[in-house]
Amino acid sequence: MNAVSLNAVSRSFGDTKAVNGLSLDVPEGAIYGFIGPNGSGKTTSIRMILHIIHPDSGTIEVLGQQGNRSANDRVGYLPEERGLYKKLKVKQVLAYYASLKGMPVKEARQEGAQWLDRFDLSHTTNQKIETLSKGMAQKVQFIATVITRPDLLILDEPFSGLDPVNHEALRDAILDLNRNGTTVIFSTHDMSMAERMCDYVCMIYKGNKVLDGTLQSIQQGQGEDTVRLRFDGDASLLQGHPSVAKVTDMGQYQEVRLAGDAQALLHHLVERTTVQLFEIARPSLHDIFVRIAGPEAAEAVAATSHAVSSQN
């Protein structure tokens, strides 16, 4: 049973094709990563799933309902660009957002109180949103998204702007919800995050799906042709070696795509320097994405990551 099914969905804005013939299935109970650089069509796809905008062609089924908004009350949505009524109190915001999904105020108060407690925000109940820190406001917005106990949770870049502590708290909350049966779709440009959390991944680039499946099957499909390396010296040691197809600097280590024998490469390095890490691994999502979508896509991802990290 799928929580969400898209079948050959397309949507254009003027001459720009934002989403082009996208088909995908999100299994119930999955954590489904929707990844790709900014402008690749993720947000447009999400808005179509929520029936905020309509597709030009194709069909969309959400929680068993096709082509209408009747499932929306069972969907929680955290958009990428967040905002709350600054002049309202925390409890008022939570009650209002819950009432829009049909939850009675009393129930919303109880549920809200539990969530506020979980995020150590109980003291803010009667505070106005404008008095909260950015991290607190983000957590309140997350609570507003999950307060109605949705069956499907759609999170657009949920971790952007969060410090490590809040990041961890939010990640635990999402995993808990998922363990209790909530299907989670989360959109991100951060592939390593998707790799750590998702069961299923769909990569989208320039409105086209470039990869779709379980994380395991995707990685297996690429084979174990990657070596993670850390050694004294710089990457020039790897240049020109027949076993090396491509080197990507990952900061803490170098990721090498093999074109030949791994042992020959290890031997080559040990003779010349001290090797601290040599791990034969499956390729990372980032690497797979670049292989499929091409170097131009890699630059787009890099640009997005850079822009986001400098914002943060």
Partner 1 sequence: MSKILSVLINEYLRAVRTKAFIIGVLVTPLLMGGGAIAVAVAENSKDLTDRHFVVVDRSEMLTEVIAEAMEGRNAHAIFDDEGEQEEPKWILETWDPDEHLGERSDQVLSKRVDDGELIGFLIIGADIPEVAPHIPELAGDGIDPATDEDELARGDRELAWFTDTPTYNDLPSTLSHLVNTAVRRHRISGASMDADLVDKLSERQSITTMGLVEVDEDGNVTDAKETDKIAEVAVPVGLAVMLFMLVMMSTPALMNNVLEEKMQRIAEVLVSAVTPFQLLMGKLLAAALVSLTLGVIYVGGLLVFVHNADVVPPAVVEALSPGTLLLFGVFLIMTLLIHGSIFAGLGAACSEIQDTQTLIMPAMLIMILPMMFLGPVIQSPDGTLATVLSFFPPATPMIMFMRVGIPPGVAWWELPVALVLCLAFAILSVWAASRIFRVGILMQGKAPSWRQMWSWIRAG
**Binding residues for partner 1 (CB under 8 A):** 47, 50, 52-53, 69, 72-73, 75, 77, 79, 81-88, 96-97, 99-102, 144
Q: Which is nearer to partner 1, 41 or 79 (CB)?
A: 79
Strand segments, DSSP code E, in 109-265 are 152-156, 183-188, 200-205, 208-214, 226-231, 244-249, 254-258
Query: Measured from the CB of residue 75, what is the shortest distance to partner 1 in angstroms?
Result: 7
Query: Measured from the CB of residue 80, what is the shortest distance to partner 1 in angstroms?
Result: 9
Lookup: tokens for 116: 């506020």
- Alpha helix (H) residue ranges in 122-163: 134-146
Q: Which is nearer to partner 1, 81 or 271 (CB)?
A: 81
Q: Which is nearer to partner 1, 69 or 134 (CB)?
A: 69
Q: Which is nearer to partner 1, 53 or 113 (CB)?
A: 53
CA dist 217 and 213 (Å) reads 7
Backbone angles phi, psi at 233, to 5 degrees: 105, 180
Query: Measured from the CB of residue 93, what is the shortest distance to partner 1 in angstroms?
Result: 10
Q: Which is nearer to partner 1, 60 or 215 (CB)?
A: 60
Using alpha carbons, select from 273, 274, 291 the residue that is nearest to residue 282: 291
Q: Which is nearer to partner 1, 70 or 220 (CB)?
A: 70
Query: Measured from the CB of residue 256, what is the shortest distance to partner 1 in angstroms?
Result: 42
CA dist 251 and 44 (Å) reads 32
> What are the beta bridge partners of residue 11?
19
Give the C-alpha distances (Å, rounded to integers) separating 155 from 46, 82, 88, 195, 306: 9, 11, 23, 16, 21
Query: Measured from the CB of residue 137, what is the shortest distance to partner 1 in angstroms?
Result: 11
Query: Measured from the CB of residue 101, what is the shortest distance to partner 1 in angstroms?
Result: 6
